[in-house]
Each structure stands twice: as C-alpha cells, then as structure tokens.
Structure 1
Amino acid sequence: MRGTTDEAWRVGLLFSRGGVTGLSDSEHFYGAALAIEEVNRRGGVLGRPIDVVAYDPASDPILYRDHAERLMTVDRVPVIFGCHTSVGRKAVLRTIERRNGVLWYPSMYEGFEYSPNVIYTGAIANQCAFPLIDFLFAEYGSRFALVGAEYIFPREMNRVLRDLIEARGGEVLDETYLPLASEDSQLKAVVSRITRLQPDVVICTLVGASGRRLYRMYDEAGIDRRRRPIASLTMAESEIREIGAERCAGHITSAAYFNSLELDANRRFVAAFEARFGPERIASMWSAASYAQVLLFAQALEVAGTLDAQRLVDAVLGTSIEAPEGTILIDADNNHAWLTPRIGRVGEGGRFDIVWEAPELVRPDPYLAVSAIEPQDRNEAVRVR
C-alpha cells in the first residue's frame, strides 16, 4: 500500500495483527485499508494519493506507544488511524497530543475522555449500554452477572452498567475481573459461579481470545442461551464465526453496526470487503468503523487541504457521511460521533438478527452529563421488531 510520490498524503495505521486482540484489530486494519484503496482509485484527495505507514503493536501497550512516537517523529506522519482497546489508546494519547497529531479512534469505548487531537467514532455508554440494559430488563429479567477483563474499559463500563441495573431495581449477583490473557481455570471458575447463581443475563466485557473461550465454555456447560444469554458490547460476527455459530445462537450484542443491516451503503461495503479479502474475512463493527473513519478523513482533508491537526479537526467537526451503518455525524462539541444504536441477537447461521433499533441518531454524551441513569419510558425505549 506504500505510495511512490512525495506528494502523497502520509498517514499511519496502528492496529495489531497478533496478540490478545489480534482478530479485532486486524479487522480495523482491513476496513481502513479497503477505504484507502477506494479513495486512491478515485484519484485520491485533491489529486494526491493516500500513502500508508503501518506498524503492528501486537496488542502490547508499550509497542503502541513506541510505534506512535516513531510514526510522528521518524516517519513524520501526523495522522494515525489506530488502537482497538482503551489501553492502546491511552498509550498513544500523550504522544498524539504532545506532537500535535490527530488520532482517529474507531472502537467503542467507555467514554469519560476528550482530546482535541482525537476523533472518536465508536459507540460510548449512552449509545450502547443504556439501550442494552433496558432491552435486557424487558426481555430477560433483572438479575445480572458481570465478567470483564482487568483494565480500564471493563471497569468503567461495568461501573455504568451497575448504576443502570440498580436504578431499575435490578441486582448484580457477581462481578469478576480476569487478566486480558485469562487461564482456562479462571474462565471455568466464572462459568461455575454462573451455573450456581443462575443470573438472568451475563454481561461480558472480556476481550479477544478470553472472551471467545468463555462463550465456548458457556455452551459446554449446557446453559440455555435463549433464556440466559451472554450480552456484550464487542462480540462481533468474526468472533462468532471463530467460536462457532452453533455455540452462540441467542447471545446478544449492542452495537451501531451489524453486517446484516439492510442499507445500500452496507450492501456495497460488504460486497467490496468480501471481494477484496475473500470469504474467510467477514465484515464487522470493527472493519466498518475504520472504513467509515477513512471516508470522514478524506472528506475533511478535501476541505482543509492540509494534514495540520487544527485545520483537519476543524474541517471534520459537524460533518457527516453515509457509512455502512447509516449516517455518522461528528459532534462539534466533543469530537465523538452521533450514531444509531442497535441490538442484535445471534441467529442460527451466526448472523445477527436486529431486534431493536433507535428511531434516530443519538448524540454522544461521553461524560454522561445529560443522560439519565434512571429508566425513562421503557415501552418507548425498547421496541422489539
């Protein structure tokens, strides 16, 4: 993907191809690569191609930090598309701000952050956790178990989830945190407690391989997924395929994108993704998010005409595109995206059946400054289709 002209717009890709989050990070990489290739085939931006410098941090926060520093100082790349986990984002944030670059962060995350040097396009709590809890209360019950990885995203998101559950009169029966690379014995202990406590829903904020192994053990334990599902904010189609669709039918994910969306932009994206990367790769929220970011970047770059951070960020704020998930709008006040929250239930073939969808774009509220923790009109909030 490296260009050959000094006139190219140079950007960095900083997504892991291996390690704990290698599967999801790789999908970010493929989505961004596809969009860059499409932009370049159309003649680039202002007649200049996008040139890529890519590094693989291998899911290691230290490598994220070091590669970000190298991109901005040695490679002189001021714009980086990158990071899947909040650990990775936090590792590069200081470099991005100190060097006055722009980080395009595509992953859903816990919120409670703002940087003038970051464009955040993933869902945050008021766009995914809030509708998920209302849906789960209406469909399954009020008794929950929370299991997450020991780092910032699960800790912060579960803090919000607990507040939402308790404000609705529900109960958190168990809250457990495991290492990012969990041992089988640790996961089996969690499944054993779930079997004993019998919560109505398990909310999983494990990531990567540990999350996939928990889903397999859940199936092996014979727990009825139709009555007692695992709910997630991150479990996407590619991971469902790797776990085995037959092991996952009935589980729930709250996200803005599912590849089963019946939208023209999504049909084009899925077809292009499969044509470029083959049937062994499957489009998901991760590839769709990074794909959309590149299109937003190209649109803003055409207006700004420069990779200067301030002018580029100014050009993207308040703008929108028609992405595979529908309209995405970048909020002018907080650099986060207005999105359409959705809830999907895994069907027998591994595709998500969309069982709830917000009637309109939801404004991002990263600090939960205006979002009410207390339940609103639940009949209006949860509309199962």
Structure 2
Amino acid sequence: MPVLDLNREAIAGARAEYARSRDAQRRARAELDAAQRELDRLRRSGADERTLAQAVSRVEDLASAARGGDAALRERLQSIRGLSEQLLAQRDPALMVQALDAAHPVLLLPVAIQTRYDDATTRLMIRIYPDVVHAFQHDPGLTPQEIAAAQRYWTQRFASPADSASPWTELSRPYGPMRAAYLVRAVVPSNLAALGAEAVPVFDEAAIPRSAGEAREQTAAALPDRFVAVGWRGGVEVLRKWGRVVADVLPMSPLFDPLLAPPDPEAWDPFAGERAWLVDYDAAEAAGMAITVTAADLTPGTTLMQGLDRLVVIGVDWTQTPETAAALVADLLHNHEHGQGLAFVAQGTPTNNTGSARAGFAADGGDLAAALDPVAAQAQAEAAA
C-alpha cells in the first residue's frame, strides 16, 4: 500500500512549543525554589522586616508565575491531543498506520495489561500500564548540593590530573554512579581544555540546569497515539477495538506539589485531573489507557462468555515523523542512562539465579561505577569510534 500523505506540521510545531514551555517552566520553578531557600535563610538569620517583605513578595510573584506556567503546559498538552484527533477526523484508525514509511523501523516498547470481566460477563475491561522503559524519572536539574559536589569533583581533577579515581569515588558513592556521571557532564568547566595545565576550573553558573525541587514528578512518554485491542478464538480474529487518544506526556505519579495545593488541605486530591486514570477505570478509558469490550464489539455469532484464546494490545504513534520519533527515543534513553541505568546485556549473560549459575550483575555495583567513571567512559568511547 502507498504511504498515507499526512500533514504533521501543526502537531510537530505544537510539540516543539510544549518542549520550550516545559524547559521555561523548569527554570521558573528552579528560580522559585532558590528564592524560597533565600527567604528561609533570611528568616533564620533574623533579617529586618523590610528585607523579609521584599523576599516574601519575590517568592509570591515567582509562585504566581509558576502556577500560570503549569496551567499553560496543561493547555498545550490538550492542544496536541486536539490536533491528533483532527488528524483522525474522517479516517479509520487502522488506515493511519499507512502513514508509517516502511523505509524506517518501528520501535515497539512493552506495556503491561490487566483484564477482567464484570460480574455478568457483559464487559471485558482491559487496563494498560506503561512499562518502566516509558518513564521519565531522572531530574535534569541539579540541587545546590549536587552542583557543589560536581564542582568539587572538577576542582580535584584540575588539582591532580593524574588521579581521576579519587574524586570519582567521592562523587559516585553518595549519588550513585548513574547520577554522578550526569553531574560530571552537567557541570563541565568552560576551560576544560586547560585540564593538566596548572589551571583552576571555571564554571558557567548560568548554564547549569537547576532542580525544580518539589515540582518533580514521574511521567511516561513514547506511547502510541492510541492503543488497539485484538482478540482471537480458535485462530480466528473475533475482536478489534481502538481506544482513545493517549496524551503525549502521561502522569505516572500522584501530585504532591505544594505550589498547586488548594487552600483547604482536606480538598486536596493527589489523583485528580489528568492523574485520575491511575486509580479510576473510567478515567483510564477516557485517557486511552483502558479499552472496554462489549458484545457489540465482537464479530457476529461470538459472545464474551466464550472467552478469548489470545489478546494483544498494541499501538503506534503515526503523528511522529522519523526525525521527531528518533529525538524522543534518544531523550528517553538518555533519561534512563542517568536514572535507573541503561546498558546492553552481553550475549549469554544469565538473567536468573540457578543452582549452577548466578545472574550476571555485580551485587555491589562496582563494575557499574567503574564503567561510568568519566575517564574510563571517554576512553571506551574513543576505542569504539
């Protein structure tokens, strides 16, 4: 079949605008976090009323701007969802798969599914959960303590260029090798070329990403535009039903951000709004993360009482171009590299403990810390190149 001619310019532009707004919001929240710390310091030091009033006013202004930025981000996500639905207007979702060019590979990531029938066996309810590979858990921003630790690492490296192991051990022990490797890369001195020339490191403070503190949350991305459930009985397909549009960025954790808490703590629901899908089936269905099957969705002569031999839930994102999809996956893998870790398992590595062999991992993480040592990693990269 010929590739479906699909105009993705509008949705690509909306996604780019969302990414810019998200980065701006991160900076705004980091600025608010710094202002709050300064206010706390002034209160502890007994600053005069005028200084305190100015600091309080700054925190309130930054908090108001951050709330506005959070609302704007939600609106942009809704805009992307609307554009996706427009692409589907007057089109069968199955035909949208033709928008994918066979010249490019399709990356299928795992999801978890849960199924159950209602008491009368009149509905088959399918819930879909993103796998951990979809999750963005790594915070790209650095706390003041992390910045100080990373700068101390580079100061020691400049002072003793021949000894890279000692500063790396000092950094990787408290933060873990994955996070430590990210800290080293995020706080690279602007005069790195002078390493070994009896110089001292110079840091561009404005270029260091700052943590948004309590605003951190876990989200999922790289999900299909929508899922489809396909069921078989006796080797014959008897079910095919599409779900609704899935958000570009799907919340994966409750919201405990104090900035967004209502005045009345009793009215606070950490699973409200776009997070309701985590605990409510109807909300999950509306979010595209659940599919309900009834008798009307089955081929004629088939009933739910007969059951299914096989059920597959699958989906692709036909709204992505090869270029934007590649960038998204690269961002996702980069996040995992500095979060829970990312590596290829060597062929033949045992993955389970048995009576005759142990799983192929180091219990103390020593091999991981050694592999992520910036000096060793750079040498490995050069050898591979």
Interval containing the TM-score (normalised by the shorter chain)? under 0.3
Looking at CA atoms only, which structure, 1 or 2, has the larger radius of gyration?
2
State the TM-score, normalizing by the size of structure 2. Answer: 0.24
Structure with a larger share of its residues in helix: 2
